[in-house]
Structure 1
Amino acid sequence: VLCKRGAGAYCSGENQSGQCGPGMPANLQEMTLVPELSSHRIRQIDGGYCHTLALTEDGRVLSLGCGEDGQRGSTEAGSTDISVVSLPERASAISAGLNHSLALTESGRVYAWGSNEYGQLGVPGDEPRALP
């Protein structure tokens, strides 16, 4: 995945879980514009194993693709629609891990959600967290 300021977000590769956008073909052989993200001003984008995070210019975090471990920041694991991750403040950076996600806020706080099987969320326990 990649983004070009003012020109949207692009994706290629496997799209079995909708990580390149809902309604797109299951396998994209070339970089393709993600129509659902074209109405957003994307500042940063990152891809995990089967999910994608996008950070907008106004600090919102968007997610798409699979969310079985909560990595989309939603309790709707089966949804492939783009959703907005509910954070208490604006984000300034994002990172999509294998099955987890991270956001750094403008105040310097880090929020983590998704799989915690190996402690990747930075909190005790191994239960996944669907919400930051």
Structure 2
Amino acid sequence: MYMLNFYAAWIGILLGFVAGAVLGLFFHREDWLGGYHSWRRRMVRLGHISFFGIAFINMSYAFSGAVFHVAPSSPYASCLFVVGAVTMPLLCFLAAYREAFRHFFFIPVLSLVIGTLLFFSQWTGI
């Protein structure tokens, strides 16, 4: 299952570059998406950077198995990290579009937290 996270990490990095290139076309406009401090612009920036941040989490998970000699005992942690990688940027961009989507941020947050706890339990044997 570690390869899934390895691929998810590199796809996330690529999407972060693409999102940054597209968004960079408009960043020079001070009033873009309501200005620098607006909700919409902050959510778009967070969505862009979350591609990279969660990609590094997936990359760390992919390499941690070999470093700590942890064989994945179940696919749940791996899948939860991928769910977080997909849903966090998606919800950031959706929340920029419609603020009501912010109520769904528990999905990526819980996915990442539970995935981390599952990995720790595999690692420590608890």
**TM-score bracket relative to the smaller structure:** under 0.3
Q: TM-score, normalised by structure 2?
A: 0.27
Q: TM-score, normalised by structure 1?
A: 0.26
More strand by share: 1
More helix by share: 2
